[in-house]
Amino acid sequence: MTKLKAAITAVHGDLPDYVLTNQELEQMVDTTDEWISARTGIKERRILKGNGLATSDMGAKAVKGLLDKRGVSPDEVDLLICSTVTPDMKFPATANLISHKTGIKNAFSYDMNAACSGFIYALVTAANFVERGKYKKVVVVGADKMSSIVDYSDRQTCVIFGDAASAVLLEPTMEDVGVIDHQFATDGSGYVHLHMKAGGSLRPPSYDTIDAREHYVYQEGQPVFKFAVTKMAGISRDLMAANNLQTEDIAWLVPHQANLRIIEATGNRMEIPKEKVMVNIQKYGNTTNATIPLCLWDYEGQLQKGDNIILTAFGGGFTWGAVWLKWAY
Ligand code: UT7
């Protein structure tokens, strides 16, 4: 019997106007365009400037564009999930604010946080709602204003991150397309290498935490790098093996955009040819929850119905995973 599946039927993104170049970063910290380009592949990233603008503003623009593109009215949306590590406020959920700003009134909405793996976790969560048959129009948005938690005096992290949002619409289908399978994993012991020290219940904000610059991303680059390569490649291969997928069956690999060297090493380990690996890190840097849908948006014109696509991500937690989907249009 054919099973109801959740298909991505539209993708859209939002990129803030301000372009922060490597040359501008050279004026801010002790770094060079040469170092950033060679070690990360990043040339520029977008920054959301302006008072009163937050993650939900980028998310709302991405969602509005998404619904317009598909000709779907906000009233028709049943559920909106936002994956983010930079919510506008600790509560309520940024998803609620995005719904409010886009006129989505008949949906319930909530946030998910799995750091850089957030989008793929949210995608599969949303797909489960669609596959049950009750929800017909589900929006998943990955959005982060990373500039709000990046220390622009720390050269190890400030060169990497950027701001953006990107969203997909999921709809039910009986065709052989959509989200097919996934594998996810978590290792909480990895928190030591990548976290934000203060601002939570462990270390609530105080003068001390501010003086110690603890409200920023803390990252030990090298261990995170090693885990990212081995875990993304490993779990993607496991997912392919479980589904009898050969390398030549894969039309596109969409890796989380954290570092060009990680992306290339992941592709090499999986023996996926370079031209099938989506890369846009040079333009946007690491936008955390937005990287994977931003890739789909950038490459949308090259995708064909039925394409086998592997999405893979690794992030703070540690969290990692891979999703197999068949492109639906
Ligand atoms: O998305 C969430 C998951 N995050 C990731 O996947 C990120 C994984 N990690 C990375 O991408 C890389 O580890 C980084 C890009 C963060 C760092 O690159 P690296 O090749 O691992 O550099 P490193 O930390 O080993 O540092 C090498 C040198 C050091 O100098 P010494 O000790 O050799 O003198 C650093 O101090 O490069 C120095 N360095 C810099 N130099 C110029 C670190 N950052 C910079 C910089 N400009 N921005």
Predicted confidence (pLDDT) per residue in 245-256, tens digit: 999 999 999 999
Q: Identify the sign of the CA torsion 68, 252, 261, 288.
A: positive
**Helix, strand, or coil (residue 39):** helix
Mean pLDDT of 279-289: 98
CA distance 101 to 99: 6
Closest residue by Cα to residue 129 from 139, 120, 119: 139
Query: Helix (H, G, I), strand (E, B), or coil: what is residue 241?
Result: helix
Q: Report CA(221)–ligand 1 centroid distance (Å).
A: 6
As given in the structure block, the two tokens for residue 230 are: 């081995």
CA distance 89 to 114: 17
Distance CA 40, CA 17 (A): 22
286 has catalytic annotation = yes
Look at residue 62 in the predicted model and tell me its pLDDT: 98
Using an 8 Å Cβ cutoff, are 86 and 149 in contact?
yes
Over range 257-276, report the average pLDDT: 97
Domains of the chain: 5-176 (3.40.47.10), 180-326 (3.40.47.10)
Active-site pick, 82, 158, 256, 308: 256
SS3 140: strand
Q: What is the pLDDT of residues 96-146, one digit of tens each?
A: 999 999 999 999 999 999 999 999 999 999 999 999 999 999 999 999 999
Contact 323/4 with Cβ under 8 angstroms?
no
Task: Give the pLDDT score at 61.
Answer: 98
Stretch 225-248: mean pLDDT: 97
pLDDT tens track for 23-81? 999 999 999 999 999 999 999 999 999 999 999 999 999 999 999 999 999 999 999 99
Ligand 1 centroid to Cα of residue 117, in Å, is 21
Q: Percent of the chain beyond pLDDT 70?
A: 99
Assess whether the C-beta atom of 48 lies below 6 angstroms from ligand 1: no
3-state secondary structure of 54: coil
Residue 91: pLDDT over 80: yes
* C-beta of residue 119 within 8 angstroms of C-beta of residue 313: yes
295 catalytic per annotation: no
The structure's pTM equals 0.97
Decide whether any atom of ligand 1 lies within 6 Å of the 70 Cβ. no
**Rounded distance between C-alpha atoms, residue 275 and residue 287, angstroms:** 22
CA pair distance 209, 213, nearest whole angstrom: 6
How far apart CA 116 and CA 95 sit, in angstroms, is 17
Distance CA(38)–CA(52), nearest Å, equals 35
Tokens read off for 187: 């290792």
Q: Is the CB of 40 under 6 A from ligand 1?
A: yes
Q: From the centroid of its chain, how far is CA 162?
A: 12
Distance CA 261, CA 202 (A): 34
pLDDT for the residue 71: 98
Look at residue 11 and tell me whether its pLDDT is greater than 90.
yes
User: What's the pLDDT score for residue 183?
Assistant: 98
How do residues 156-169 score in pLDDT, each as one tens digit?
Answer: 999 999 999 999 99
CA dist 153 and 37 (Å) reads: 19
Considering the chain, what is the average pLDDT of its residues?
97
- CB of 261 shorter than 6 A to ligand 1: no
Written as six digits, the tokens of 3 are 């099973």
User: Residue 147's pLDDT is what?
Assistant: 98
Contact 31 CB / ligand 1 (< 6 Å): yes
Give the per-residue pLDDT at 1.
57
Neighbours of 45 (CB within 10 A): 29
Cβ atoms within 10 Å, residue 208: 10
Q: Is the peptide bond before 318 cis (omega within 30 degrees of 0)?
A: yes
| Shortest-distance Cα residue to atom 30 of ligand 1 | 156
